[in-house]
Amino acid sequence: MEKISKNVRKVVDKIRKLYGESPDLNTRIIDIQGQKIGCLFFESSSQTSTISDFIIKAVDYTKDNLFDSLFDSLKNNMFNSQVIIIDDFSKFPYFLSSGFTIIVVENIDKAIVMETRAQLDRGVTESTTEPILRGSKDSFTESHSKNLGLLRKRIKDPNLWFSELKLGRRTQTRISLAYINDIADKNLVTKITKKLEKINIDGILDSGNLSDYLTENKSSFPQFQSTERPDIVCQALLAGKVVILVENCPFTIIVPTVFIDYFHTSEDEYQKSINISFTRILKIFAFIITLFTPAIYIAITTFDQNTVPDKLLISLAVQREGVPFPTAFEIILLMTIFEILRESDIRSPSGMSAAMSIVGALVLGQAAVDAGIVSPITVIIVAITSICSMIFTDIDFINGIRAWRFIFILAATFLGLIGIFSAGLILLIKLASLENYQTSFLSPFAPFNLTAQKDALVRFSIKNIFKRPKYISAKNQTRQRRSS
Amino acid sequence: MKKIFLIIFLCLFLSGCGNYAELDKLAIVTGVAIDKKGNDYEISYLVANSPKDQTSSKEGEAKTTVYSGTGKTIPDAAMVIEQKSPKKIYLGHVNVVIISEDIAKDGFFKVADWLFRSPETRKQFYLLQAKNDKAKDIIKIISPLESFPSQSIATLLESNRDSKSASTTTTYNNFVGYVLEEGADPILPTITIHGNIKKGSEQSNIETTEPTAYLTLGPLAIFKEDKLVGYATTKESELINLIQNKIKEIKFSLTFKNDALSIDSYNLKTKLSIEDESHITLTITGNGNIYNINSNIDISNPKEIKKIENLWNKSLQKSLKKLIRKMQDKYHADIFGFGNKIYSTYPKKWNQLKKDWNNKYFKEVKVKIKSNLKIPDTGSLKDTLTEARK
């Protein structure tokens, strides 16, 4: 803690020096009946009209109606909802950079801080990364208070608690842990807080920075679900999970997350449960297809031809006729090209993506087959694989699948079906060994939890789900009471 | 962790891709024909995946090629083909194996070992015997309805098994199983070519509306152990299938009061029961519909139906007796598996019988035939048309 100097001019000079005489730092010294007050704010991050309307006017008003000491009068006359008194100089930069206005008074070692933030973020807009057909359309924004507001608006229970901490030596990013006090596991909250407090880094810019700190496991699959939809967050909160919101980042992290969560969407609760069950099973199929198809194709065409029906094998053999590359190379080549195409499509401005899709579809698909560089079946395999991977919304999850897909391809190239099964076993062991905050990644299947099956692979009607899943939080499990 | 990576690394790179084979480097054999040429063996492979030409290969169509080789032994002959074929011969998808009459008479086991021993081949392919023609010619005949010959033979077998009661399918496994089984002898479907063999193997055969050559299934071949002893007629084939409980429906033609009468039977069931080692009872139950009748009778009369039932039962019993007699006296082949039934009921007695079963004891088996066939329905016409005219 650093004391605030009683000399206004000294304080102002110190701040100016601290910011390297930055031109957007506005310092103003006003003389009120012989007593100097200093007014400090950043033009860039504050709303200057608010400052002139409320602060300067208040100062002006105080000039004529001075009954108490100057400091108390100023404090009482401020027309602002957020007036803070601080006596620590080291807090000045944080408030100034956040868009606050600081008033220091001659001979007083305290300062008045007022919220005069400028609207530097966009409004609440529709989610672009997780589009849905049914459900609320709003999404989180870069504004931390707006994000918290979106949650408060949905859960009016006073038990919705936010605990806040600041991370990043330079960025001083606000991190909020949201949880429902009487549902969430307190241990989980303290553990997460402890982990986060240990972080000593210069800057946290996105919630993605935090995921790696929160987990102890190494895996290509993401360990924590991330979403920009407030309704998904509220569903997680109501299930007893803890949600981490990071300032200036619309994506939140949900802890704990299990494997099957990536197969669920927020819509699951809003649509008919029987249809959702069908969709979920479809997604499981898609997961298996996208993981195994290229590997199995390689295995059955180069090692285990015995497993293919006659007509299919002959059709495959004839298609491969004249292709110059070995099957495995052909698949890896096309898969790589597809991954490049996908990556460049995300990065390119929207005007260019039309050209990209034409090149991708015509040149890489049709022309490559016509030229005899790849066989048509390979194009089909790669297409099926990539379409099935797009069924998931979490990009980390898609990339996790991709990593394993290439492992399977390699295993199939060298060992055939035996290789695929061995690699599959390794994947299963790997997934089963993942554990975060005492929640196993494969819950509720391993360890098996019968009541949680109502909302896992299939979904029962909301009428029949009475308990919250035990693997998330053991306390206060009743979600719904049987209506008598 | 390092150790695990090392193990994975070694697994991948030291395994040496044991049975690695690119698909386009394989000659996929779908049919095998085994003939005898003098004292030598001639085998022919039907390779299914030679591309038609540069343009149509993309449509997944294939032309077939037949490679054949002659040698003193079967492996010798196979070696000749290996030398002829530019691609590696792959026997994993053999669908149909056709043996010639000579091979069948000589004993199938002489040639069977080679296919059975190869780990590559499936043992579920269909086994057929070529009647009158060379086995090689049969796999050459191109059928207009299927993309390659072995496939057309397999489809022909399957559709006939399902629709016609005179035919059957025997897989390689089945056949060998029957031969090795105690007290049972196998049967094989036969196949013959109708028309010009040479034209049938040309592409033009499938370009005309009426193929000049086509394949048909012949009567069943009767084997004693692994050797061919004779053929059954179509009518007999049906009855063999009936005794073996392989079919449920047979169309019977009877002569009733000097007029033709056809019965479409269904739910046929045969029960083989055994009294002692020389007395066997066959019980046949089932129902039938009258499906063609011209005689001048009133079939709405239950008494007339009873008469027809009696006639049907008697004629079936008579023909079955005749068939069994023929097997016992002429072929000495226990294709019905009577011996096997004795073996499973009286294993001790069987040990004494088994040496001379085919030649002595099988002949002495007294077969009693009971049948209980009923006609519950006369079709959608109440009277016969001749009757209605009156």
Interchain contact A424–B (C-beta under 8 A): no
What is the model's pLDDT at position A296? 93
A236: exposed, middle or buried (Cβ count in 10 Å: 0-12, 13-18, 19+)? buried
Residue length, chain A? 484
Q: How distant, in Å, are the alpha carbons of A91, A95, A170, A176 from that of A98?
A: 11, 5, 13, 17
Closest CA to B97 of B125, B119, B124: B125
Interchain contact B364–A (C-beta under 8 A): no
**Cβ–Cβ below 8 Å for B24 and A411:** no
Of residues B62 and B11, more confidently modeled: B11
Question: B93 to chain A, minimum CA–CA distance in Å?
Answer: 6
Interchain contact A219–B (C-beta under 8 A): no
Of residues A247 and B162, more confidently modeled: A247
**Cβ–Cβ below 8 Å for A322 and B57:** yes
Task: Report d(CA A266, CA B384) in Å as an integer.
Answer: 71
Chain B residues touching residue A323 (CB < 8 angstroms):
24
**Cβ–Cβ below 8 Å for B90 and A414:** no
Chain A residues touching residue B121 (CB < 8 angstroms):
none
**Cβ–Cβ below 8 Å for B21 and A305:** yes
Mean pLDDT of chain B: 80
Chain B residues touching residue A327 (CB < 8 angstroms):
22-23
Question: A440 to chain B, minimum CA–CA distance in Å?
Answer: 21
**Cβ–Cβ below 8 Å for B22 and A311:** no
**Cβ–Cβ below 8 Å for A317 and B12:** no
Q: Rounded to two decimals, what is the model's pTM?
A: 0.81
Nearest-CA residue of chain A relative to B1?
Answer: A218
**Cβ–Cβ below 8 Å for B11 and A415:** yes
Alpha helices per DSSP H over B86-206: 101-106, 109-117, 135-140, 149-163, 172-180, 197-200
Q: Which two tokens stand for residue A1?
A: 């803690």
Closest CA to A148 of A170, A126, A179, A125: A179
Query: Using an 8 Å Cβ cutoff, are A205 and A171 in contact?
Result: yes
When pLDDT is cut at 50, 70 and 90, the band that residue B236 belongs to is confident
Whether the bond into A447 is cis, omega within 30 of 0: yes
Nearest CB to A313 within list B19, B28, B148: B28
Task: Measure CA A371 to chain center.
Answer: 44
Strands B40-51 and B62-71 turn out to be antiparallel
Query: Using an 8 Å Cβ cutoff, are A401 and A427 in contact?
Result: no
Residue B207 has pLDDT above 80, yes or no: no
Question: B91 to chain A, minimum CA–CA distance in Å?
Answer: 9
**Cβ–Cβ below 8 Å for B12 and A410:** yes
**Cβ–Cβ below 8 Å for A305 and B92:** yes
Closest CA to A472 of A235, A274, A269, A221: A235
Of residues A195 and B291, more confidently modeled: A195
Q: 3-class DSSP state for residue A178? A: strand
DSSP A12-74: HHHHHHHTTS-TTEEEEEEEETTEEEEEEEETTTB-HHHIIIIIIHHHHHHHH---S-HHHHH
Query: What is the number of alpha carbons within 13 Å of residue B291 lying toward its C-beta?
Result: 12
What is the model's pLDDT at position A162? 92
Contacts of B289 (CB under 8 A, 6+ apart): B263, B264, B265, B266, B375, B377, B378, B379
**Cβ–Cβ below 8 Å for A311 and B147:** yes
Nearest CB to A314 within list B15, B19, B48: B48
Interchain contact B53–A (C-beta under 8 A): no
What is the model's pLDDT at position B54? 46
Query: Using an 8 Å Cβ cutoff, are B222 and B231 in contact?
Result: yes
Interchain contact B162–A (C-beta under 8 A): no
Query: What is the number of alpha carbons within 13 Å of residue B294 lying toward its C-beta?
Result: 6
When pLDDT is cut at 50, 70 and 90, the band that residue B52 belongs to is low
Number of other residues whose CB lies within 10 A of the CB of residue A285: 12
Nearest CB to B93 within list A310, A315, A376: A310
Q: Which two tokens stand for residue B266?
A: 């269904």
What is the model's pLDDT at position A244? 93
What is the model's pLDDT at position B15? 64
Question: B297 to chain A, minimum CA–CA distance in Å?
Answer: 54
Query: Using an 8 Å Cβ cutoff, are B46 and B32 in contact?
Result: yes
Closest CA to A114 of A158, A56, A153: A56
Number of other residues whose CB lies within 10 A of the CB of residue B263: 24
Residue B295 has pLDDT above 80, yes or no: no
Question: ipTM above 0.90?
Answer: no
Condensed to tens digits (0 to 9), the pLDDT of residues B77-127 reads 888 888 888 888 888 888 888 988 888 888 888 888 887 777 777 778 888
Task: Report d(CA A129, CA A249) in Å as an integer.
Answer: 14
When pLDDT is cut at 50, 70 and 90, the band that residue B18 belongs to is low
Interchain contact A314–B (C-beta under 8 A): yes
Coarse DSSP helix, strand, coil percentages of chain B, rounded to the nearest 5 percent: 40, 30, 30
DSSP lists the bridge partners of residue B197 as none
Q: Which domains does chain B have, with CATH numbers?
A: 24-231 (no CATH), 235-389 (3.30.300.210)
Closest CA to B140 of B93, B84, B196: B196
Nearest CB to B122 within list A306, A320, A326: A306
DSSP B250-293: -EEEEEETTEEEEEEEEEEEEEEEEEETTEEEEEEEEEEEEEEE
Task: Report d(CA A16, CA A96) in Å as an integer.
Answer: 12
Q: Which two tokens stand for residue B215?
A: 């394949």
Residue B62 has pLDDT above 60, yes or no: no
Interchain contact A65–B (C-beta under 8 A): no
Which of A307, A321, A381, A407 has the most B C-beta neighbours within 10 Å, making it the best mutation to test the interface with B? A321
Task: Report d(CA A261, CA A244) in Å as an integer.
Answer: 17
Question: B119 to chain A, minimum CA–CA distance in Å?
Answer: 11
Chain B residues touching residue A318 (CB < 8 angstroms):
49, 51, 57, 60-62
Buried-state track A301-317, b at ≥16 Cβ within 10 A, e below 16: bbbbbeebebbebbbbb
Q: What is the mean pLDDT of residues B206-224?
A: 81
Residue B16 has pLDDT above 70, yes or no: no
Extract long-range pairs of B284-287: CB within 8 Å, 24+ residues apart. Answer: B284/B242, B284/B316, B284/B320, B284/B369, B284/B370, B284/B371, B284/B372, B284/B373, B285/B371, B285/B372, B285/B373, B286/B248, B286/B372, B286/B373, B286/B374, B287/B373, B287/B374, B287/B375, B287/B376, B287/B377
**Cβ–Cβ below 8 Å for A316 and B23:** yes
DSSP lists the bridge partners of residue B272 as B282
Number of other residues whose CB lies within 10 A of the CB of residue A212: 10
Task: Report d(CA A34, CA A18) in Å as an integer.
Answer: 28
Residue B61 has pLDDT above 60, yes or no: no
**Cβ–Cβ below 8 Å for B148 and A416:** no
Q: Which two tokens stand for residue A207?
A: 């919630």
Which of B23, B26, B56, B150 has the most A C-beta neighbours within 10 Å, making it the best mutation to test the interface with A? B23
Nearest-CA residue of chain A relative to B12?
Answer: A414
Q: Which two tokens stand for residue B91?
A: 């026997």
B90: exposed, middle or buried (Cβ count in 10 Å: 0-12, 13-18, 19+)? buried
Residue length, chain B? 390
DSSP lists the bridge partners of residue B26 as B88
Percent of chain B with pLDDT strictly greater than 90: 0
Ranges of chain A with pLDDT below 50: none
Of residues B296 and B283, more confidently modeled: B283
Q: What is the mean pLDDT of residues B239-264?
A: 81
What is the model's pLDDT at position B384? 65
Query: Using an 8 Å Cβ cutoff, are B371 and B283 in contact?
Result: yes
Interchain contact A379–B (C-beta under 8 A): no
Nearest CB to A326 within list B19, B22, B54: B22
- Which residues 14-43 in chain B show a CB within 8 A of chain A? 15, 17, 19-24, 26, 28, 30
Condensed to tens digits (0 to 9), the pLDDT of residues A412-444 reads 888 888 889 989 999 999 899 888 888 888 888
Interchain contact A221–B (C-beta under 8 A): no
Element (H, E) at A292: helix A273-302
Chain B residues touching residue A410 (CB < 8 angstroms):
12
When pLDDT is cut at 50, 70 and 90, the band that residue B57 belongs to is very low
Q: Which two tokens stand for residue A265?
A: 């969407």
Residue B59 has pLDDT above 50, yes or no: no
Strands B279-293 and B126-130 turn out to be unpaired
Chain B residues touching residue A320 (CB < 8 angstroms):
22-24
Task: Report d(CA B387, CA A449) in Å as an integer.
Answer: 75
What is the model's pLDDT at position A243? 93
Closest CA to A386 of A370, A354, A368, A364: A364
Pairs of CB atoms within 8 A across A/B: 86
What is the model's pLDDT at position A36? 83
Interchain contact A160–B (C-beta under 8 A): no
Q: How distant, in Å, are the alpha carbons of A136, A471, A474 from that of A463?
A: 21, 21, 21
